[in-house]
């Protein structure tokens, strides 16, 4: 009985691998990730559980790398903001539109080379929000360290609280902690949607 | 009188609020997705306390990480402390940061710039 079951399973497995090996070139995925020094990547729905798991994985990885506490904290802090941005954005998108579940998904990657960490995120945004988002990031990118500090304090002390709680501080905080400009791009995917890519560097 | 003790988790800090002793403590990390909900009981208790505060209120903030969502809630707590301080009572905020953690020191300075309560920046050496 058990023998029978296992042979069926084997047949099934080999059958799948033959088919998938033709359709998806897994080795080229592997090489690409290896070449880009990817530590962790994910594509899909950023749920609360997933967010917690990814933070836990990254925390362990950073500890195992024996990274300086200062850098480790910076990377972790920026990660938290980036992932929570994606998480809150997903909520907004879900409330915003019915139906197209695929547009709620996001991509997240973190890589490390000899000089820096790179955090990359991508998500769909409604095209009518692109202008204001772009203006917000450009405003942050035009500021130096002291201006960012002042701007952070101004936004923090503003009365009122956004539903998600961040109150628009996320990008300012990422810019301050990373000490670098926020690289971004908007790609128009279809009439009403664009794809927002964000690329953050953190020096070691 | 109120006494709140909240055990810390990987995303939320340990919080002790003892109104009898005039003591508020936040320790650990504060990175919940919904910080408003998390901080609500503490904000409410501190609000109640501010109606009839002790002569001296000590606050110890020793956080390893906190997200921007928490930063507004922490500011809310500090605003309540500021209102107590305004009535002439003694209030001190001890802001702990680990050696070399300039970001955490700066975060303390951000609050110091906004809130009119005496801050003590305390470096913790490992």
Average pLDDT in chain B: 95
Mean pLDDT of A59-79: 92
In chain B, the percentage of residues whose pLDDT exceeds 70 is: 99
pLDDT for residue A165: 47
The structure tokens listed for A85 are 């941005």
ipTM of the complex: 0.94
Residue A12 lies in a domain: no
pLDDT for residue A67: 87
Under the banding of pLDDT at 50, 70 and 90, the label for residue A66 is: confident
Q: Which sequence spans correspond to the domains of chain B?
A: 3-124
Rg of chain B's alpha carbons, rounded to an integer?
14
pLDDT score of B117 more than 80: yes
What pLDDT, in 10s, does the model give residues A71-84?
A: 999 999 999 999 99
Residue A142 lies in a domain: no
- Buried b / exposed e over A147-166, threshold 16 CB at 10 Å, is ebbebbbebbeeeebeebbb
Q: Does B123 contact A at CB distance below 8 Å?
A: no
Burial class (CB in 10 A: 0-12, 13-18, 19+), A19: exposed
CATH of the domain at A112: 3.30.565.10
* SS3 assignment for A20-64: HHHHCCHHHHHHHHHHCCEEEEEEECCCHHHHHHHHHHHHHHHHH
State whether A170 and B64 contact (CB < 8 Å). no
User: Looking at domain B3-124, which CATH architecture does it have?
Assistant: 2-Layer Sandwich (3.30)
Classify residue A102 by its DSSP letter. Answer: G
Quote the minimal CA–CA distance from A85 to chain B in Å. Answer: 10
Domain ranges, residue A121 = 28-128+180-203
Mean pLDDT of B43-63: 96
State whether A165 and B114 contact (CB < 8 Å). no
pLDDT score of B118 more than 80: yes
The structure tokens listed for A114 are 């000899």
State whether A80 and B31 contact (CB < 8 Å). yes
Q: Does A157 contact B at CB distance below 8 Å?
A: yes
State whether A157 and B36 contact (CB < 8 Å). no
Mean pLDDT of A134-152: 96
Interface test with A, best of B33, B65, B99 (most A CBs within 10 A): B33
Residue A68 lies in a domain: yes
pLDDT score of A3 more than 60: no
Asked whether the beta carbons of A81 and A173 are under 8 A apart, the reply is yes
Cα A86 off chain centre by: 7
Residue A165 lies in a domain: no
Residue A139 lies in a domain: no
Counting the structural domains of chain A, the total is: 1
Quote the minimal CA–CA distance from A31 to chain B in Å. Answer: 34
Burial class (CB in 10 A: 0-12, 13-18, 19+), B81: buried
In chain A, the percentage of residues whose pLDDT exceeds 70 is: 82
What pLDDT, in 10s, does the model give residues B58-86?
A: 999 999 999 999 999 999 999 999 999 99
Helices (H) and strands (E) in chain B, counts: 3, 6
Average pLDDT in chain A: 85
pLDDT score of A5 more than 80: no
Q: Does B98 contact A at CB distance below 8 Å?
A: yes
pTM for the complete prediction? 0.88
pLDDT for residue A99: 62
């Amino acid at each position: 009985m058990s023998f029978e079951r296992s042979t069926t399973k084997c047949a099934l497995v080999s059958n799948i691998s033959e088919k998938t090996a033709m359709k998806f070139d897994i080795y080229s995925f592997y090489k690409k990730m290896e070449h880009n020094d990817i530590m962790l990547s994910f594509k899909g729905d950023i749920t609360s559980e997933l967010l917690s798991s990814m933070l836990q994985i990254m925390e362990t990885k950073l500890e195992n790398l024996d990274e300086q506490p200062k850098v480790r904290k910076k990377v972790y802090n920026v990660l938290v903001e980036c992932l929570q941005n994606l998480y809150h954005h997903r909520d907004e998108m879900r409330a915003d539109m019915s139906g197209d579940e695929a547009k709620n998904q996001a991509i997240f990657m973190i890589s490390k080379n000899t000089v820096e960490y790179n955090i990359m995120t991508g998500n769909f945004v409604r095209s009518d929000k692109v202008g204001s988002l772009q203006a917000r990031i450009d405003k942050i990118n035009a500021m130096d360290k002291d201006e960012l500090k002042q701007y952070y304090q101004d936004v923090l002390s503003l009365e009122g609280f956004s539903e998600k709680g961040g109150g628009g501080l996320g990008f300012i905080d990422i810019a301050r902690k990373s000490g670098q400009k926020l690289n971004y791009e908007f790609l128009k995917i279809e009439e009403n949607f664009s794809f927002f890519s964000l690329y953050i560097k953190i020096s070691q | 009188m109120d006494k709140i003790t909240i055990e810390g988790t990987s995303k939320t800090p340990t919080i002790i609020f003892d109104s009898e002793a005039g003591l508020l403590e936040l320790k650990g990390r504060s990175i919940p997705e919904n910080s408003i909900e998390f901080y609500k009981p503490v904000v409410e208790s501190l609000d109640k306390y501010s109606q009839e505060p002790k002569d001296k209120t000590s606050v110890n903030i020793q956080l390893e990480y906190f997200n921007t969502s928490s930063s507004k809630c922490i500011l809310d707590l500090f605003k309540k402390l500021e209102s107590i301080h305004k009535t002439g009572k003694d209030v001190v905020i001890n802001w702990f940061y680990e050696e070399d953690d300039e970001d955490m020191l700066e975060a303390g300075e951000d609050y110091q710039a906004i809130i009119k309560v005496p801050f003590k920046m305390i470096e913790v050496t490992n």
